[in-house]
Structure 1
């Protein structure tokens, strides 16, 4: 839900809310844990915060292995080696020098999962369809953000199938795997530089393009998905390495692999426009005109 346009929701803040307002806080207190500290760590703050929210946090380490297993993509990395070479030094989490290769293995595994799974066109299309359906439920006041947070999978699919005409349409298509089709697919170097900067730099650029295509094609925005791959490798990897001589340096200074992966992610970056099969031709013609493409 954090990716929904014009909707504010934070899973970190929701986690803190659950801890503070349920029996969990009592259980943590019984174990002698400081509730304020725990909440601070969830936000990525404090001396252990980077373990919970960082480039090498437990969430990322978990979902890479779990998603790899359930999607059948044969990637793995040495999770135990990373954990065993972690150390808390001067209120900062560091990785000992002997854990460098294990961290590189994790970054490679993450790169493969993004390239083959998270950024696959079917994944992006289905996720885009779900976002459109959720927004429709919210706009029609059928559910609230607070409702969605409480739903399990069964509740969510029930409300999707019983919601609006559009959400029923989406649910049926998702279950039959009749996804929105690719209207347009452009690689990093195929997209005009000015348009690329606008898409990556402006928060509402995607919504603006969807609206313009909708207005010029007489097709509702909910049937048009404009999508740009997220860049999973940032300008730096926030991991510190503890060398044998006791000095601490950034991970990039001991691994040339980081820059290679940062460049490689652009090879798999895509700008997509999706629409139902029966609308592809119309949306395609208008989209090219709106984007100034031949």
Structure 2
């Protein structure tokens, strides 16, 4: 396919990569579509800004950052590895990098969990559906949208392109670690990206790294591990997510009850959110109208809803009053039902004021062909031309390879610990506090 260039390069200022360079008209056209501009209204870290106040960055910034990394890599591949890198793969790589998150819903992964959507499936639907994105891609060639969608689906026939976009060290992960670390004010996600990019090279089977870059890749793996524990698994952020999930579940319950109960007014949902709470499949058009701002507007309104549960949960969410949490262990897990009874006895509906939440991540693993979702391992090229897997040459990575990071917590109202109860519930609150103290459960400070 013929690649046109802009008469004058466009640049976007970026706090992570300094400049985002754009010299392909198709990239600029894609950025200017309403589907891509929607990403400005979706926060990269969902509601993590309730803990890390600087984390206001968007999926838009992350997506153009991922594109910039792909641009730098393909430019270097074309210059130094023209014998094994096909320059015709450049454009599909750049476009897939730019569009890899186009299907994310409001509040990102929280939305997926609650409404059973898949952002990668939605990404492919946007690319292949009746959208301006599809129209722009079709101008390259009739089959170009399908090529981009197959990269997202990991079925594209060039493993180099697939691994650049989705693997254990890809342009997506490298950008979000650096970007999230910057905006959360943490240092855990920082690593030597320039060194990694300089030692990355294409191979017949995908992507590998020169052995000289091993320590930079080690640093990347450890940085990712620490970011999950210190930022992505933060218990207070998860306490806010539980509030969000439960208040939307309450909305769903009230809305569906209105179909058989005339005393319940279903107008509180409004036309933009209504398709979410029906039994009908959500259309692409309906999906693309949703963003963080839409939900925040309605949650603000629901603070005054006559239903006491929806009103209270909305007020807690808008006022940043997360549910408290404590760790679930083998010893305490059998006792959670008793805790729920105590919460109910204190006047809180345990269905909406308690939750068990499990955070899971596998920091690194080698290729295992027999598992459901095998991972593309990180390979290194040695001086003699042989390949070695990262954990075979790094004792640091070997120590965490295949070991999942899991944090399971039980969430409950903060009042169960801090508010002086009235005489009616005095025994219940005393019993709850005693239960926690006797079982040595953790209750992180919501400001931590």
TM-score, normalised via structure 1 length: 0.76
Partner of 2:321: 178
**Greater RCO between the two (CA within 8 Å, min separation 6)?**
1
- 1:285: Cα distance to partner? 4.6
Query: Could you tell me which residue of structure 2 aligns to residue 255 of structure 1?
Result: 394
Matched, 1:102 2:216: yes
| Secondary structure at the counterpart of residue 360 of structure 2 | coil
Q: Which stretch of structure 1 is more off in the superposition, 210-219 or 15-24?
A: 210-219
Contact 1:210 1:226 in 2 (8 A): no
Could you tell me how far apart the structure 1 residues matched to 2:287 and 2:246 are? 14
Q: Residues 58, 112 of structure 1: CA spacing in aligned structure 2 closer, same or farther, 3 A cutoff? A: same
Larger deviation, residues 62-71 vs 154-163: 154-163
Structure 2 equivalent of residue 162 of structure 1: 301
Distance 1:194 1:283, change over 3 A: closer
Structure with more helix by fraction: 1
Counterpart selection for 2:355 from 219, 222, 225: 225
Name the SS of the counterpart of 1:226 in structure 2: strand
Equivalents in 1 of 2:210, 2:360: separation in Å? 30
TM superposition shift of 1:94: 2.0
Which sections of structure 1, spanning at least 5 residues, go unmatched?
197-208
Q: 1:112 aligns with which of 218, 226, 248?
A: 226
Distance in 2 (CA, whole Å) between partners of 1:57 and 1:283 is 51
Q: Give 1:151's aligned residue.
A: 290
Comparing 124-133 with 164-173, greater Cα deviation is found at 164-173
Stretches of structure 2 that go unaligned for 5 or more consecutive residues are 1-107, 256-268, 277-281, 367-374, 418-427, 442-448
Distance (Å, rounded) in 2 between the aligned partners of 1:195 and 1:255: 36
Aligned ranges 1:33-182 → 2 under 5 Å: 34-46=144-156, 47=159, 48-75=161-188, 76-141=190-255, 142=269, 143=273, 144-145=275-276, 146=282, 147=286, 150-163=289-302, 165=307, 166-182=309-325
Give the one of 13, 17, 21 matched to 2:125.
17
Distance change (3 Å), C-alpha of 1:112 and 1:84? same
Question: How many matched pairs?
Answer: 273
Distance in 1 (CA, whole Å) between partners of 2:327 and 2:193 is 35
